Amino acid sequence: MDIKLIVNGKTVSVNVEADEMLLTTLRNQGFFSMRRGCDTLNCGLCTVWLDGDTILSCSYPTFRAAGHEITTLEGLAEEASLLADCLAAEGADQCGYCTTGMMMSAMALRRKNPNPTDEEIKEFLVGNLCRCTGYESHLRGIRRYLGEVQK
């Protein structure tokens, strides 16, 4: 079916199968910041925003996203670059494969709660798994980023 998606503020026309998931559609459009890490909605690697809320694009049928505002990491370039820099300063990127999905959650958290406690950060990001870092460096990087944004 032919549908229109609004990705990072731009309208794109795509032809999708009824069972196609948003993750596949976005990757086919050349957005690579979201990835598949599991088959069971556990890992959070595919996190994007739908109308400003985080969703797991691996299990979101593309046709349901028609007409909604989809935001990917690529669409938040400036803020994402600041967050990336703060994470990199802590060595928190490591393999990087899960990091971009986690960044989408972290930037969503800031919009909902600009002054979260450590526990609130951990709870909000609990659906973003990481196998490399042991998570502590994420926390340090996000603290650094929240401080930078408030400057």
Partner 1 sequence: MNTPKQRQHVGKSYKKVDAATILSGRAAYTEDLIPPHALVIKILRSPHAMAKILDIDLKSALRLPGVEAIYTYKDVPQVRFTLAGQSFPEPSAYDTLILDQYVRYVGDGVAIVVAVDEKTALQAMQMIRVTYDVMEPVLDIHTALDHPTVVHPEEDLHYNMPVGGDPKRNLACSYSRVTGDIEGELAKCDYVVAGTYFDQATSQSAMETFRTFCNIDQFGRLVCTSSTQIPFHARRHIARALQIPAAKVRVIKPRIGGGFGSKQTACTELYCAFVTWTLKKPAVLIYDRHEANNCSTSRHAREWQIRLGATKDGIIQVIDMVAISDAGAYGTHAFTTFTAGEHKSVPLYNKGKAVRYESNIVYTNHMAGGAFRGYGATEALWPLECAVTKLAKKMGMDEIELRLKNLINVGETSLVYAPDEVLESGLLKEAIARAKEMARWDERPHSWQIDDTHRGGLGIALAFQGSGVANVDTASVEIKLQDDGYYTLYTGSTDMGTGSNTVLMQMACEVLGCPMEHMTCYEADTDVVPFDPGSYASSTTYVTGTAAKLAAEDLRAKLIRTFAKYMEVSESDIEFDGIMAHTKDGKQTMTTQELAPKLMVSFGHEAEQLVGFATWGSHTSPPPFMVGIAEVSVDTETGQVTPLDYYAVVDCGTVVNPALAKVQAEGGIVQGIGMALTEDIRYSPKGRLETNNFMTYKIPTRLDMGRLHVDFVESHEPTGAFGVKSIGEVVINTSCPAIQGAILNACGAELTTLPMNSEKVFQALMAKE
Q: Which of residues 84-123 bind partner 1 (CB under 8 A)?
A: 84-85, 87-100, 103, 122-123
Q: For residue 32, give both structure tokens.
A: 């690579």
Contact of 113 with 82, CB cutoff 8 Å: no
Residue from 32, 111, 114, 148 in contact with partner 1 (CB under 8 A): 32
Least CB distance from residue 36 to partner 1, whole Å? 8
Secondary structure (3-state) at 125: coil
Beta-bridge partners for 6: 11, 69
Residue from 22, 45, 56, 109 in contact with partner 1 (CB under 8 A): 45
Contact of 98 with 43, CB cutoff 8 Å: yes
Tell whether residue 78 is a contact of partner 1 (CB under 8 A). Answer: no
Tell whether residue 80 is a contact of partner 1 (CB under 8 A). Answer: yes
